[in-house]
A = this chain, B = another copy of it.
Amino acid sequence: MTTAPDQTPLRVALLGGGVVGGSVARLLTAQADDLAQRIGRPLEIVGIAVRRAGRDRSDLGVDPALFTTDAAELVTRADIVVEVIGGIEPARSLILSAMEHGASVVTANKALLAEDGPTLYAAAKQHGVDLYYEAAVAGAIPILRPIRDSLAGDSIRRVIGIVNGTTNFVLDAMDSTGAGFAETVERAQALGYAEADPTADVEGFDAAAKAAILSSLAFHSRVASADVHREGITEVSARDIAAAQEMGCTVKLLAICERVTGQDGREGISARVHPALIPLSHPLASVREAYNAVFVEAEGAGELMFYGQGAGGDPTASAVLGDLVAVARARVTGGRGPGESAYADLPVLPMGEAITRYHVSLDVADRSGVLASVASVFAEHDVSIETVRQQVVTDDDGSARAILVIVTHAATDAALSATVNELDGLDTVNEVTSVMRVEGN
């Protein structure tokens, strides 16, 4: 005689009734039967914590009595807590309290994970619960689970991501229209692709949080937002984009996580966010508009790319619900999902030790010996030049200048930076008009 399987619903508490929370509630309700089949037990929303009561939320198809402003109480009576409030507090306290009360947690909170992930991972371990957060990086794109699980038997060398939709939309629009940064951001704002205050996106803060999460998982180490070198796209000009096009490249804001050997021979991580030229032949170059993509290089697997929508209510909810099913299944079958590990404990190396290539445009005097003097500065700093292109420009007053475009071979960022600084001080150099890194080859 077999016992009938336990069909007691698993209690789900939802923290946050905004765009993502609304999508989660709606999809969870609409797909209830499918989810119950996939999990082995039904899910039941036991409450939705919102900041303000009384707003009409009849579009979500859930019982209005479920809404509460008392999130702290709600997390004490759930098997699974879904946190889509965002921000550091009260999200962190609520998650920790949920875990103390025995609930597993699904969160989309990249800022919190990138600032204080280890506290959460430790709490999950201590209380024997699961903590999943696929939605925190690249929205709907399954990327954290592939890195953590699918590539668990491989050794990841490098992760390069386009993980911020706003900046990709802006750079893509600049590339196709030739317009400048400021006017393109305005257009993105008008179209809903950029916030009224776009700082978190255009200054790279959002991408840096995701780079921290990706680096931690890919290299089994602890990397926080503050460890990530960060440069935004506010300085990228129409001229930079045109220069990129001239050499068969496009400009993307990249989150780069690399395993590198530092100058003293120790193994470490380079984690950085900055705009960079990538060749049009690179798979990341074809990621248009607000799409996201993550390119992964691993020893065994070789090159992989994961592409899709990085934001939006339903795409983010899809990732949240995938985690929710995984966490719920673990409740049903016993056991815990794979947790984080930081056993490798690799240090994050300073930006100066990152190995990159540079694309440098110089406005120089048009006279003999200038190229030689410029080249000798590169040589002094052990930076090898890959290509030089010289173009003579005659100004309105009849005087001649030359534009030098130099692309280097790979060198440490410190050596490249020192080279550019010295070039800036040369008598023969009128102006260093543009300096951009080149990635992806």
A positions within 8 Å CB-CB of B: 23, 27-28, 31, 34-35, 37-38, 134, 140-142, 145-146, 149-155, 220, 283, 286, 298-309, 312, 314-315, 317-326, 329-330, 333-336, 338, 341, 343-344
Contacts and interface: CB of A to CB of B under 8 A. Distances in A.
B153 A27 contact: yes
Nearest to A128: B333
A150 B154 contact: no
B343 A37 contact: yes
B307 A302 contact: no
Contact of A35 (B153, B301, B319, B333): B153
A151 B37 contact: no
A305 B302 contact: no
A303 B314 contact: no
A353 B31 CA distance: 26
A202 B23 CA distance: 43
Contacts of A283: 286, 307
A315 B336 contact: no
Given A31-B155, A303-B309, A308-B302, A150 B319 contact: yes
A38 B341 contact: yes
Contacts of A308: 301-305
Q: Which of A23, A152, A320 has the most CB of B within 10 A?
A: A152
Given A134-B150, A149-B145, A322-B152, A300 B27 contact: yes
A335 B338 contact: no
Contacts of A286: 283, 286
Contact of A151 (B152, B154, B322): B322
21 contacts: A35-B153, A37-B341, A38-B220, A38-B343, A140-B298, A140-B301, A142-B146, A142-B304, A150-B319, A153-B322, A283-B286, A286-B286, A301-B314, A301-B318, A302-B315, A304-B306, A304-B309, A305-B305, A326-B338, A334-B334, A334-B335
Given A37-B220, A335-B333, A336-B333, A154 B301 contact: no
A326 to B, nearest CB: 6
B145 A318 contact: no
Given A153-B320, A306-B306, 11 more contacts: A31-B153, A38-B343, A140-B302, A141-B304, A142-B142, A142-B145, A145-B145, A145-B149, A286-B286, A305-B305, A333-B335
* Top-5 shortest CB links A-B: A335-B335, A153-B321, A300-B318, A142-B150, A140-B301
A9 to B, nearest CB: 16
Contacts of A309: 301-304
Given A330-B335, A343-B37, A304 B307 contact: yes
Contact of A34 (B141, B155, B318, B324): B155
A318 B154 contact: yes
Contact of A325 (B37, B152, B300): B152
Contacts of A300: 23, 27, 140, 314-315, 317-318, 321
A320 B150 CA distance: 9
A153 B325 contact: yes
Contacts of A151: 142, 318, 322
Contact of A152 (B38, B302, B336): B38
A281 to B, nearest CB: 9
A264 to B, nearest CB: 23
Contacts of A38: 152, 220, 341, 343
Nearest to A325: B152
A334 B331 CA distance: 12
Contacts of A318: 151, 153-154, 298-301
